[in-house]
Amino acid sequence: MVKREDVVKALRNVVDPEVGRDVVSMGMIREIKIKEGYVTITFAPTSPFCPLLTFLVEEIKKSVSSLPGVTGVEVKVEF
């Protein structure tokens, strides 16, 4: 079973290369929902014109997908 704490820990490995800080400590993760192994993350980048938006979304998916018990990951972008 996937736990919220495990998802947060995985997200701490996703670092914004422009700033050098992880998406959790920067307050970019608004919400985490877990239902039967499917994880939905609401992500708020610092700017709607963030040049690394696609990169960060893919890194979030990759990081959380690697957790045991995760059946899928959806990242919702919120501005």
Instruction: Judge contact between 14 and 66, C-beta under 8 A.
Output: no
In this prediction, residue 70 carries a pLDDT of: 98
- Of 19, 24, 22, the C-alpha closest to 41 is 24
Distances (CA, A) of 54 to 6, 14, 45, 49: 23, 13, 10, 11
Distance CA 76, CA 78 (A): 6
Q: Identity (one letter) of the amino acid at 21?
A: R
In this prediction, residue 54 carries a pLDDT of: 94
Cross-strand pairs, 75: 41
In this prediction, residue 61 carries a pLDDT of: 98
**Domains of the chain from N-terminus onward:** 4-77 (3.30.300.130)
pLDDT in tens, the chain (79 residues): 999 999 999 999 999 998 999 999 999 999 999 999 999 999 999 888 888 999 999 999 999 999 999 999 999 999 8
pTM of the model: 0.94
